[in-house]
Amino acid sequence: MTDVPFQPDRATERPRSQWAEVWAQFKTHRGALIGLAVFVALVLFVSVGPLVWTRSPTYINPNAAEMILSRNKPPSWQAPLGTDQLGRDMLARMMAGGQVSIAVGLVAMVISMVLGTLVGVLAGYFRRLDGPLMRLTDLFLALPLLPLLLVMVMLFRDPLARSLGPEGGTFLLIVTAIGVTSWMQAARIVRGEVLALKEREFVLAARSIGTPARRIILRHILPNIVSPIMVSATLGIASAIITESALSFLGLGFPPDFPTWGRLLFDGVEYIQQYPARVIWPGLAISLIVLSVNYIGDGLRDALDPRIRGR
Amino acid sequence: MFTYTLRRLLLAIPTLLVISLVIFLLVDLAPGSPASQIPLTVPAEVRMRILEAMGANEPIHVRYLLWLKQFFVVEPLVWVDATFGTAFSEGMQRILSWQSRSPVFDVIVERLPQTLTVVGMAYVVGVLIALPIGIYSAYRQYSWFDQIGTFVAMVGFSVPTFFTGLVLILVFAVNLGWFPSIYNTSLRVTDWESFVAQVRQMVLPVAVLALYNASQISRYMRASMLDNLNQDYVRTARAKGLRERVVVLKHVLRNSMIPVVTVIALGIPTIFGGAIITEQVFRVNGLGALLIGAIQASDLPMVQTLTFIFAVLIVIFNLIADVLYGLLDPRIRYD
C-alpha cells in the first residue's frame, strides 16, 4: 500500500447527496444538456406561451366576410406563424396542440410505468406469479400494436366521446390505449432488477426481522429500482408522443378543434403544396421534443449508472 | 436444439390461440359493432336479414370457432387447390370481406406485392447501409465519423417517418420535381421506360424507411462491435500478427453479427405491418392501406384476419430469431 497524497480540496469537500452526483455526471453529457434545454423551452412555450399570446386557438371570425379575408395569411405581426384555412391563429394552435401532445406523453408514460413496475415487481418478487405474468408480457409483446391501437381508437372513440365529451373521451382513450400497450419493456427491466435485489443481504435482513412483503417492496426494493424506471419513463414519453402523433396523422386521433401537434400536421398535409410551413412547424415541434427527450434519456442512463459515474 | 425448436413450436400454438381470441373479442365486443352501422330507418326485419347475410347474428363463440376453422383449415385448403388444381375446398365457406364480399385472402394476395417491393426493399437497403456504418463507427469510436453517425442515428430514430416523408416530398417532389410524391400502384414494368418510372417512384418511400431502419440497426451493430473489440481474443489475434483487416472483418465481425442477425430477424414482421404510416404518406396501396381502409369501413373480418396475420408473423420471427441465436452462438445452450 503506497501513501495516498493528501488532497486538501477532496478532504474538505462536503459529501454530496446522490442526486448531486447524478446531476454532476448528467452535466458532462453535452447532448443531454442541450436536450434538457430544448425540452424546457418547449414546455415553457406551451405552458407560459398562452399567457403571453392570448389569442384563442379556436377563434374563427363570426363575420363570414372577415373570416374569408383572414384565411391562409402568411406570417405577420398579427399572426407570427400565419393563419389556417379557417383563419385561426397558427401560433396559438401550436401552443394549444403542444399542451395536449405533452400531456398525452406524460400521462401515457405514467400509466405504462405504473403497470410495468407493478407487473415487474410482482413477477420478480413472488415466484408463483413469475411464470404467468411473464407469459402475459410475452403475449403483449407478440401483439401487433399499431394495428390494435388503430382498431381500439376507431371502435371506442365515438361511444367514449358521447359519454365523456369529445375532448375528455378521446384523451382518456388515447392515453389508456398507449399506456396499456407500452408497459412490457419496463416490466421486463424491473423484473430483472428485482430478481437480483431480492437475493441481497439487506432484503434478507429485513425479511428475517419479520417485515411483511408489502413493506419490503415499498421500503427496500422500490427505492433501489428508481434509476431504471426513470430511464424507461423518459424514453416512454418520447414513444408515447410519437404514437399519439402517428394516430392523429392517420386521422384517428383528436378532433380538429382540440388540436395536437400530430393533428395540426395531419390538417396541414392537404395544403402542403401551397403552405408548407403548416406542415413544417408541427413536424419540427414533434421531432424536437422526441429528440430532446431521447437525449435526456441517454444522459440519464449514463448519469444513473454508478459504474460510469465519476469517470 | 431440435427439441427446443419443437417445444417452442408447440408453445406458439396456445400463444397464437390466445392472441386470436384477444383480437377477435376486442374487435367484436367493441361498441362500434356492425349492427350500429345500419341506419335506424331500416326496418327490423331487413336489419335481421342484413346481419344474417353478414353472419353477424350468430353467438360470438360460434363465430370465433368458425373464423378459426376458416383461417386454419379452409384457407390453406384453398391455397392447396390453387397450387395443385385439386378440389378439397369445394363448397367450403371462406372468410369474406364485408366491404367487397370477396374472400379476404384474395385481397391480401393482391396487395402483398406492393408492400413487399417498397417496404422490403427499404429494409434491405437499410440493413446494407447500417452494417458498414455500425462497423466503422465502432472501430473508430468517438471519431468525427462516429459522432456524426450517432447523431444521424438519433435523428433518424426520433423523427417520425410521417415527418421525414413529408419533408422529402416537399423538397424533392414539390420544389425540385425530381420524384413523384404519390406511388402509382397500377404501373407495370414492361420496358426500360416504365422501369425507370418504377425506380423513381420508389426512391422517396424507400429512403424514408431505410433511414429509419438503418438508424436502429446501426446502433445495435456499433454496440455489438464495441463489446467484441475489447475482448481478449482480439488482442491474441493482433499479437499473432494477423492483419488488421482480418482481425476486424473476420474475427470481430463474425462474433458481433450474432446479436445483430437476431435483431434483423425480429424487425422483419414490421415490414408487413409497421409501415402503415409510410404507405399512407406516399399512398402506396399495400397491406397498411388495406388495414386502414378496412378499419374505417368497419370491415371486421378483414381487420381481424390482417391483425392476426401480423401477430402470426411476429410469433414466427421471434421463434426464428431465438433458434438462429442458438445456431449461430455455440455458447447458447437451450437444452
- Here the ipTM equals 0.81
Residue A311 has pLDDT above 50, yes or no: no
Residue B7 has pLDDT above 90, yes or no: no
B292·A295 Cβ contact <8 A: no
Contact A286, A265 (CB under 8 A): yes
- Give residue A208's pLDDT: 92
Residue A126 has pLDDT above 50, yes or no: yes
At residue B60 the predicted structure's pLDDT band, cuts being 50, 70 and 90, is confident
Computed on alpha carbons and rounded to an integer, the radius of gyration of chain B in Å comes to: 24
CA dihedral B150, B152, B155, B161 (to 10 degrees): -130
Over range A98-106, report the average pLDDT. 90
Among A63-72, B18-27, B163-172, B189-198, the least confident range: A63-72
Q: What is the largest CA-CA distance in chain A?
A: 89
Give the mean pLDDT of chain A: 82
Over range B63-88, report the average pLDDT. 77
Q: Which residue in the set A142, A147, A279 is minimally distant from B273, CB to CB?
A: A147
Q: Which residues of A touch B314 (CB under 8 A)?
A: 142-144
- Give residue A114's pLDDT: 94
CA distance B261 to B279: 26
C-alpha cell at A251: 386521422
At residue A115 the predicted structure's pLDDT band, cuts being 50, 70 and 90, is very high
Q: Minimal Cα–Cα distance from B250 to chain A, Å?
A: 30
Q: Which residue in the set A144, A150, A290 is minimally distant from B158, CB to CB?
A: A290
Over range B2-7, report the average pLDDT. 83
Q: Which residues of A touch B27 (CB under 8 A)?
A: 151, 155
Contact B145, B302 (CB under 8 A): no
Q: Minimal Cα–Cα distance from A204 to chain B, Å?
A: 31
Burial class (CB in 10 A: 0-12, 13-18, 19+), B288: buried
Residue B35 has pLDDT above 60, yes or no: no
Q: Which residues of A touch B280 (CB under 8 A)?
A: 249-250
- Give residue B91's pLDDT: 66
Q: Minimal Cα–Cα distance from A190 to chain B, Å?
A: 22
Taking CA–CA distances from A140, the nearest residue in chain B reads B19
C-alpha cell at B99: 366491404
A144·B169 Cβ contact <8 A: no
Mutation test of the interface with chain B: which of A151, A176, A289, choosing the one with the most B Cβ atoms within 10 A? A151
Among A160-174, B91-105, B265-279, the least confident range: B91-105
Q: Which residue in the set A139, A151, A290 is minimally distant from B27, CB to CB?
A: A151
Residue B46 has pLDDT above 60, yes or no: yes
Instruction: State pTM to two decimals.
Output: 0.84
CA distance B142 to B150: 9
pLDDT digits (tens, 9 = 90+) for B250-272: 888 888 888 888 888 888 887 77
pLDDT digits (tens, 9 = 90+) for A178-216: 999 889 989 989 998 898 888 889 999 999 999 898 999
Give the mean pLDDT of chain B: 82
- Give residue B39's pLDDT: 65
Can you list the domains of chain A with their CATH numbers? Answer: 104-258+284-311 (1.10.3720.10)
Over range A251-265, report the average pLDDT. 82
- CB count within 10 Å of CB B138 equals 23
B158·A265 Cβ contact <8 A: no
Contact B329, B313 (CB under 8 A): no
Taking CA–CA distances from A162, the nearest residue in chain B reads B31
Q: Which residue in the set A142, A286, A294 is minimally distant from B315, CB to CB?
A: A142
From residue A23, how far is each of A26, A227, A246, A293 by CA, in Å? 5, 13, 34, 16
- Give residue A112's pLDDT: 93
Residue B310 has pLDDT above 80, yes or no: yes
Residue A109 has pLDDT above 60, yes or no: yes
- Give residue A1's pLDDT: 47
CA distance B154 to B148: 10
DSSP state of A216: I
Q: Minimal Cα–Cα distance from B46 to chain A, Å?
A: 24
A79 vs B280, residue with greater confidence:
B280
CA distance A216 to A125: 10
Residue A87 has pLDDT above 60, yes or no: yes
Closest CA to A155 of B308, B55, B296: B296
B87 vs B202, residue with greater confidence:
B202
From residue B138, how far is each of A29, B155, B218, B222 by CA, in Å? 19, 18, 10, 5
B31·A148 Cβ contact <8 A: no
Closest CA to A107 of A50, A166, A170, A23: A170
Q: Which own/partner contact pairs does B175-182 have at CB distance under 8 Å and 24+ positions apart? A: B179/B203, B179/B204, B181/B282, B182/B282, B182/B283
Residue B84 has pLDDT above 80, yes or no: no
Query: What phi, psi does B103 have (nearest 5°)?
Result: -60, 135
A147·B276 Cβ contact <8 A: yes
Q: How many beta-carbon pairs under 8 angstroms link A with B?
A: 120
Q: Which residues of A touch B23 (CB under 8 A)?
A: 143, 148
